[in-house]
Structures are given as C-alpha cells and as structure tokens.
Structure 1
Amino acid sequence: MRPAVWPVAALLIGYPVWWALGLGGLAVVVLAVPMAVILWRRRPIRVPKGFGLWLLLLAGYLISAVTLAETPDGTYGDLSPGRITGYLVRLAVYASLLVMVVYLGNLSLDELPQLTLVRMLGVLFITTVAGGLLGVLAPGFQFTSPLEMVLPGWIGDNSFVRNLIHPTAAQVQHVLGHSSPRPEAPFEWANAWGSNVSVLVIWFVVGWWAYGGPYRRAMAAVLIVAAAVPIVYSLNRGLWIGLAISAAYLALRGRPLLVGAAAALAGAAFFLSPLSAIVAQRIDSPHSNDIRAFTVSSTVRVAATSPLIGYGNTRNAFGNQRTITTGKTRWCEECGHPPLGSDGQLWLLLISQGFAGALLYVGFFAGAVRRFWRDRTPIGQAGTLVMILVLFYMLVYDGLISALSLYLISFALLWRNA
C-alpha cells in the first residue's frame, strides 16, 4: 500500500477501532488533518466540478452562526453549550468532508486504484453486517468509550454528542408496540445503519461480484443473505424503499440478471424465515408518520422566517403532534419536544441554513447525477445510483456523520472514474 493511502484505509478498514474509541464517524475529522497536510505538499490541487457548490454550502453554514442565539416563533430554548457544540461538530464535519473528497481525487490511480477503494468500502460493508447481527443477537451490548471517559460532562451529556461517542449495538424502541431492537453498530443510530448498509452493499456487489472471481462471488452471496436478517430487524422503511430503488435502477441500466440473482437470494432468506412476519408488523405500525408530519411542517414554517441563512442548528418545537404539554418522564426518557430538523438532511439544512443551503445541497448531488449518468462502467453506474439515493434519503435521514462520508466517497469514486 502506498504511503499516501493510509488515511483512507484507516477510515474504512479501521472503522471498528474508531467506533470502539468513541470517535466513529468523527474519525473523518481526525484524518482530515493528515490529508490536508499531504494535499498542501502536493500543490497544485485539482478540484471536481460542482466543488463551488460545496464551498458555498460551507460558507453559508459559517454565516448562519450569527442566528444561533435566536429563538423563532414556535420554538423554545436559549443559546446553550449544547447548541454551540452541535454547530461546531457539524461545521468540522462539513469542512473535513471537503478535504477528504479533494484528497481522494488527487491520489493517482497508481497510488489508489479504483478497485482497491471499492473493496475497502466492501470491507466496511462486512463490518456493518457484523454490527447489524450483533444488534439483533445482543441488543443490550454497549460500553463507555475512552473518548466518553475524558470528555467533560457538559459536552458528553449532550444528546447529539452522546450518540456519536457512546458505542451501542442497537436502539431498543417501541416501533411495533413492544420493545424491538434496531441495529446501529458501528454507526451513530439505527437510521444511519440503514442508510449506510444500503450504500455499502452497492460497492460490495461491485467489488466482490462485478469484479470478483468464483470465491468472492460465493462470499458475496452468503453475506448478502446474512445481511437480510439485520436489514429486516432494523424496521427501517426508508432502507427498504432504498433497496427497491436500487433494484429498479439496476434493471433500468441493463443489469436484470444481477437484480434477479440478488432478488432470488433475498427472497429465499425472507420467505423461509420469520422475517416476513416482522415486515408485515412494521407496515401495520406507521405511528412515526404523524411525528414526521408535525416536525416537517413545523421545520418548513420556521425556516421560512430565515430563508437565506437559517438558524445555524436545530430548534426544539413547542409540543408534539398530539399536545403542547409534552416532556420527558421516568417511564419515557425519549419523550419530549421533538427537535426540528431531525427527520432528514433536507429538513436539517432548511432550519440550519435556510432554503439557500438546501438548494446548494440538492444542486451538488443532482449535478453529479447529470454529469455522470453516461458512465456505464460498474463503478460509474454504482456511483450514480448512490447520488440518486442521497436525493431520496435526504427526505428521511439525517446525513451526518457517517452517511454523508459514504456519500462523498462515492462522489469521489465517480470523479476519479471520469
């Protein structure tokens, strides 16, 4: 392995170590430092088309800091260390991802071949499946990370930060009317696991099936069947829809045999197991729809009062979809006023950066779909599919932190392929 490739390998192959340390997705912030140093020594630096949109997104987020102390109508809460910490974490992530994309694009194909990067993502898929199975079999598994031990309480006790630094195997929620584990290891939360596994399986199929021999293809078939278990137990409707979009896309782009093989394997695992009953229960339990409808409509209304720069971070809404008198109790620690901007990256951008920030984000990824649609290589088609999934997932998933890292690594693969 060439010396300049080690930060990339450390991020993707070494992800379980970062998770155990309490950094997880924040590893990209740490590794952006050596990436920036190496880039500086390699001047001049190439940048991709669309780079200006991400720079404007970052600049807009910097400007939005001036509204952090504001409390728009329909929300409550004063400027607090938690709000500032959340803002700074997101700012660091946005800047680090910019460095990462430029770094990947400036490594030569001799230093980092495309297939090597794809297979690094495939290794992370295997890690994700293992974490998902851990969440199904041992949902109570968790531990205090080294980072959590050393952080002061006023930072570590922030709910957003705690999700990032406290390793857990699963989120136990009452989605079906009773306690149900939703896998999340080695990522921040269950929805992040769902988004990430759907992106990583695409690159796994490219590296192990499209460019794989008999051994790799057999391994791919076994792992995809194994992945079906945590995918169903995740109770993640967004993930299920994302997989359906992926299948439709592959059929459209002329790979029906691959779609048929994957569908046959997944179908066998599904119908010959108790998994089908779990899916039926989840479809019959759409209680989160009301919560999403309330937070999304409230987010749009609040964002309209600062359409150009937003409010820098999320805000807590008065009440929820049922009442204005809601809060945490001893029997429901997760009950309370839902944070606006927590139901998808689009809604987070609307409240934190206004409509202008949301348009820049959409423009960046939609522009990638337009530019790379004609690339019919396996890597080109896979990367374009990920860009399409980004535009869907922004409606239902918060992209920070690990998910957005995978989106932009996929963008870098497209850029390098061109």
Structure 2
Amino acid sequence: MRFTLFASYAVVLLYVINARKLLNTKWLLRCIGFTYAWIVLGGYIGMFFPEGSLKYTVGLLLPGSLASNEYIFQLFTPPFAEIQEPWGVDEPFYRPSAPFLYANGWGAAIGILIPAVIGVAAAQRNLRSKVLLVLALAAAVPPMVQSTNRGLLLGVVVAVVYVAIRFFLRGQLLLFLGIVLTGAVASATLVSVGVLEGIVERQDAVDTTEGRGNLYLETWQRTLESPLFGFGAPQPSYTSEIFVGTQGMLWSLMFCYGLVGCGFFFYFLSGILIRTWAAPNASALWLQASIVTATFVGIFYGLDRHLPIIMLLAGFLLRERYAQQSNYWKPAPRHRYLLNTAVLETQKAKHLRSEQ
C-alpha cells in the first residue's frame, strides 16, 4: 500500500509539471483554495458531529475479508473527530479530524495550506477574490481552537518567520513590517479566543511530550539495527502502546526505509526549495513557505495523506520556475515598475554625462 501511495504521488508531480496547458495557473490556484476549503469544512463537521464517521463511501464496496481488518476499515470510514477521554478530565476532548483519520492529520493539512492560501490571495488581481480568501483564512480559527494542535501553530509560525526573513533580506521592509504587525494581531486574537489555553489544558491532562521523546529515542536506537533498509513497516514498541515508526514522517521513513530512504525523501524536499529559491514575488514565496512548513511538521506528523498537496505545490512551482515564458514567475508589477524606472534614470544620467 505504501509503495502504491508513493508511486501515485510521483504521478501527480509529473502530471502537474507536464500538463501546463490543461492545468493552467488559474485552475491550479483554485484547486489549492478548494482543497483548503474542503479541509476547513471537515473541521466544522468534526466540531458539530464529533461522534459521526464517513460511512457512505467506496468503503461499502469492500469485500468482507478486507472490511473485517480494523486498519483498512478505519481508512475507508474515518471518524469526523478524534475523541480523547484521559483520566481525570471533566469532559472529553473533541478534536476535529475529517477528512483525515486523526486530528494531527487535520492540523498538519491546515498548517501546510494556510501559507499556500495566502499565496493564492497574493496572486489575485481583484479585491473581491482577496477578501474572500482572507475570510476563508479567518473561518479556520474555530476548528483550529477546537483541535488544540501544537504542531499546526508551530508550522504556521515557521512559515510566517520564513517569509518575513526573506522579505527583510530582499529589502522589502514594508512587506516585512506588514507581516510582523499582522502576525502580532493574529497571535493576540488566537490567545484571546483560547487556543493556547486549550493546548495547555489538554497537555496537562495528556502529557504526550515525554512519551513522544521516549518513542523517538527507541525509534533511533532500533533503526541503527538496520540502518540501510529499515524494517519495512512500523513495529510494536517495547515500552509503549504506540508503534515504533509512527508519530512523524521523519521517524516513519527512518524506521521503515532506513537512513538512506529517509535521507532521499528530505533531499527531495530540500531540492525543491533550492531550485525554486528565487520565488520572485509574494505569491510564489508563500507557496514555497508551505513546503518549508511541510518539511518542518514532518518531524512530528505523518505526511502520507498530505503528499498529494505537497506534490501539487511542488509541481506548480517547478514548472513555473523552468518555463520559458511564465506570467506567474516574475516580479510583481510594482517591482518591475521600480526596476524599469531605475534603469531609465541610470541611462539618463549616462546620457547627460556623455553630453557634458
């Protein structure tokens, strides 16, 4: 199953890169926005119907021999929310997860897509589209609060810091200050609506930090027993009910495919960032920040179900970067105007000196 998943993701990447005429820039940007909206909708479904599950799907066609397998059954009938009832709490934690199997999967998807949606908004030419996308970003706040997801917030912070630093290094100080001020307002808003309070409350009830640390240590130690090829799949832990080779793409690849396979995967993601480093405008930079976020959250969360989104973003950026003529991969109009003005002023100055 894992092999077919990775093979299908490679097909998605190659198709997006090559189908330039069929999948034009406008269509792909809309696709990113639609994917984000669908996952936000899943968050609201998880909030209002936490005990429900997605039953009426292709899973109904599964033969009994497959449907009776608990893992396969969960894949085809994912719950709308992950319900956690730790000992000692007054009420259980209802964490939205639809359309993913776990709440962390939902949080990772939102964390990866928020920078991409900002990039889509930056690429829009009309004010109405920009306003709708900003409202869509705001719409994700309630399920984000309900999810109490630390990795989601950390991923978004990484993306914002990355873009802010890139703008600062380019000398685009107005954009840099705009991000700083917007980030400060957004942070204050999230604190006021109780995001951090919910995270702290759940962490006090279920302290997963120490457990994850022990699991990561065991994963590393057991990976060294088969460092080249790994063990092929997660295996039971010696000390925890959670399987070794889970709780993060980094650890999953390391344990299942060895240090070689893990190295190749992150080399692939870093190669995309290096090749598209120029990112000549705000939209491209925010889309690139989504891949930065994916690389970061891969330390804590699995990315198996998120790779189609990552491949769509990567394929789009790569094809625009290497296209002979791309209306997308070029500086914003204002930057082009300033550049042309500077060139004209330089030429005028040279002409005046030559006359003198």
Pairwise TM-score range, normalised by the shorter structure: 0.7 to 0.9
Aligned residue in 1 for 2:73: 162
The secondary structure found in structure 2 opposite 1:101 is: helix
| Residue 317 of structure 2 corresponds to residue 414 of structure 1 | yes
8 Å CA contact retained: 2:54, 2:80: no
| Residue 198 of structure 2 corresponds to residue 278 of structure 1 | yes
* Inter-partner Cα distance in structure 1 for 2:53 and 2:154: 29
What is the CA distance between 1:276 and its match in structure 2?
Answer: 4.9
CA separation of 1:319/1:274 partners in 2, compared to 1, >3 Å: closer, same or farther?
closer
The secondary structure found in structure 2 opposite 1:232 is: helix
What is the CA distance between 1:284 and its match in structure 2?
Answer: 4.4
What is the CA distance between 1:134 and its match in structure 2?
Answer: 1.6
Normalised to the residue count of structure 2, the TM-score between the two structures is 0.80
* Inter-partner Cα distance in structure 2 for 1:378 and 1:111: 25
8 Å CA contact retained: 2:119, 2:287: no
The secondary structure found in structure 2 opposite 1:181 is: strand
Aligned residue in 2 for 1:404: 307
* Inter-partner Cα distance in structure 1 for 2:183 and 2:58: 42
8 Å CA contact retained: 2:112, 2:156: no
Aligned residue in 1 for 2:171: none
CA separation of 1:264/1:193 partners in 2, compared to 1, >3 Å: closer, same or farther?
same
| Residue 272 of structure 2 corresponds to residue 368 of structure 1 | yes
Q: 1:118 aligns with which of 29, 41, 49?
A: 29
| Residue 305 of structure 2 corresponds to residue 305 of structure 1 | no
CA separation of 1:208/1:171 partners in 2, compared to 1, >3 Å: closer, same or farther?
same
Aligned residue in 1 for 2:341: none
Normalised to the residue count of structure 1, the TM-score between the two structures is 0.69
| Residue 128 of structure 2 corresponds to residue 215 of structure 1 | yes
Cα-Cα RMSD: 2.3
8 Å CA contact retained: 1:119, 1:203: no
What is the CA distance between 1:188 and its match in structure 2?
Answer: 2.8
Q: 1:142 aligns with which of 37, 41, 53?
A: 53
CA separation of 1:228/1:261 partners in 2, compared to 1, >3 Å: closer, same or farther?
farther
**2:83 partner amino acid:** V
What is the CA distance between 1:227 and its match in structure 2?
Answer: 0.7
* Inter-partner Cα distance in structure 2 for 1:416 and 1:379: 15
* Inter-partner Cα distance in structure 2 for 1:220 and 1:146: 30
Aligned residue in 1 for 2:44: 133
* Inter-partner Cα distance in structure 2 for 1:282 and 1:247: 26
| Residue 298 of structure 2 corresponds to residue 394 of structure 1 | yes
| Residue 161 of structure 2 corresponds to residue 248 of structure 1 | yes
* Inter-partner Cα distance in structure 2 for 1:208 and 1:359: 34
What is the CA distance between 1:261 and its match in structure 2?
Answer: 6.5
The secondary structure found in structure 2 opposite 1:102 is: helix
String of CA shifts for 1:57-98, please: whole Å, max 9, x gaps. Answer: xxxxxxxxxxxxxxxxxxxxxxxxxxxxxxxx1111001111
CA separation of 1:117/1:244 partners in 2, compared to 1, >3 Å: closer, same or farther?
same
Aligned residue in 2 for 1:194: 107
